[in-house]
């Protein structure tokens, strides 16, 4: 049985913080779209539920909110 070559983590785009942020934004947008399609957009979603659905820790929610504030204030 042959060994598989080692993974090159230096050039792995999934290790890039910018890529991770883009994917989190994409997953959040997906969750919002799903809630809208299911007519659940008026129902509140808890921080824990959102973080569980997009696969991040609870502290990332607060970092995300700060990031959104900075983006809105920059314009």
pLDDT (tens digit per residue) in 47-73: 888 888 888 888 877 877 888 888 888
| Phi, psi of 56, deg, nearest 5 | -125, 165
Please, what is the Cα angle at 60 between 58 and 61, to 5 degrees?
75
Instruction: Name the residue ranges covered by the structural domains of the chain.
Output: 17-74
Shortest CA distance to 68 belongs to which of 24, 17, 16? 24
pTM for the full predicted model:
0.63
Shortest CA distance to 30 belongs to which of 13, 12, 55? 55
Q: How far apart are the first and last CA of the chain?
A: 57
pLDDT digits (tens, 9 = 90+) for 10-40: 777 778 888 888 888 899 899 989 999 999 9
More confident residue, 51 or 7: 51
């Amino acid at each position: 049985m042959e060994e598989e070559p080692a993974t090159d983590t230096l050039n792995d785009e999934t290790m890039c913080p910018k890529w991770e942020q883009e994917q989190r934004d994409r997953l959040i947008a997906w969750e919002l779209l799903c809630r809208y399609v299911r007519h659940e957009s008026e129902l509140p979603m808890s921080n824990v539920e959102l973080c569980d659905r997009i696969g991040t820790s609870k502290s990332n929610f607060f970092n995300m909110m700060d990031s959104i504030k900075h983006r809105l204030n920059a314009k």
